[in-house]
């Protein structure tokens, strides 16, 4: 048996699957373009808005208080998320269903991933509350302790990871290559967002702890 020939054949088959998968994505679909726009815009917006609030307190001034400001930002982020999800689902309606994904097993996997993702999102919101979920630390609303209960004992960023699983699960359930591609963009944007958010949040809490230590001495 020629192992090198088998390997080459296997790679060619994977290449064929890849090209078929990509060819089934209608990149000219306006609803897909809008979905991708909001997938990229939303985390960019909330990071810019949160940094602006931290440095200038502009949202606090507009809302008339830090907590009200955080709720205002939360409502805006939530609203943008609804718009994003609307266009994502509309794009799935118009995109091709791939023969590569049109299997019962893939549907079951999609449903399981969707359910798991929703559990992570909802339980993380329950643990953090509105201000903890929606960047309250940038408003000076800090948590007393690091949350270590489920789902934070399972993954570091359950909100983002749960959202990504939800997108992937939905895409697989409906057998849409365009949805899988959109999920990759979701994951990329959340990964980039964390590179900005995690060190800055750590800096905020370090500053708080330093202030506490100074007061106690």
Dump pLDDT digits (tens) for 66-116.
999 999 999 999 999 999 999 999 999 999 999 999 999 999 999 999 999
Which pLDDT band holds residue 63 (cuts at 50, 70, 90)?
A: very high
With a cut of 80, say whether residue 50 has pLDDT above it: yes
* Domain edges within the chain: 28-216
Q: Is 198 annotated as a binding residue?
A: yes
Q: Establish whether 197 is an annotated binding residue.
A: yes
| pLDDT of 156 strictly over 50 | yes
CA neighbours closer than 13 Å in the CB half-sphere of residue 168: 15
- The rounded distance, in Å, linking the Cα atoms of 197 and 206 is 14
CA atoms within 13 Å, Cβ hemisphere of 98: 24
Dist CA 158 CA 133 (whole Å): 11
What angle, rounded to 10 degrees, do the helices at 66-94 and 30-56 form? 170
Rounded Cα–Cα distance for residues 118 and 24 (Å): 28
| 117 annotated ligand-binding residue | yes
**Nearest to residue 22, comparing CAs of 110, 117, 98, 84?**
98
Residue of 146, 149, 155 whose CA lies nearest to 194: 155
Indicate the pTM of the whole model: 0.92
| Mean pLDDT along residues 183-206 | 95
Task: Report pLDDT for 209.
Answer: 84
How far apart (Å, rounded) are the C-alpha atoms in residues 166 and 116?
8
Q: Residue 1: its pLDDT value, please?
A: 47
> For the purposes of burial, counting CB atoms within 10 Å of the CB of 19, is it exposed (0-12), middle (13-18) or buried (19 or more)?
exposed
**Contact of 163 with 89, CB cutoff 8 Å:** no
């Amino acid at each position: 048996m020629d192992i090198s020939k088998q390997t080459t054949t296997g790679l060619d088959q994977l290449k064929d699957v890849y090209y078929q998968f990509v060819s089934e994505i209608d990149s000219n679909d306006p609803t897909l373009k809008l979905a991708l726009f909001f997938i990229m815009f939303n985390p960019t917006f909330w990071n810019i808005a949160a940094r602006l609030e931290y440095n200038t307190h502009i949202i606090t001034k507009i809302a008339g208080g830090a907590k009200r400001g955080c709720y205002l930002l939360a409502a805006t982020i939530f609203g943008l998320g609804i718009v994003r999800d609307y266009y994502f689902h509309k794009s799935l309606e118009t995109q091709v269903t791939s023969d590569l994904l049109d299997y019962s097993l893939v549907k079951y996997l999609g449903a399981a991933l969707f359910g798991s993702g929703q559990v992570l999102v909802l339980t993380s919101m329950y643990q953090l509350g509105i201000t903890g979920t929606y960047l309250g630390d940038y408003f000076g609303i800090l948590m007393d302790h690091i949350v270590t209960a489920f789902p934070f004992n399972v993954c570091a960023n359950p909100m983002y990871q749960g959202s990504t699983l939800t997108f992937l699960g939905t895409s697989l359930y409906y057998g849409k290559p365009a949805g899988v591609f959109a999920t990759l963009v979701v994951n990329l944007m959340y990964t980039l967002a964390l590179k900005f958010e995690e060190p800055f949040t750590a800096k905020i809490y370090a500053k708080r702890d330093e202030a506490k230590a100074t007061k106690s001495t």
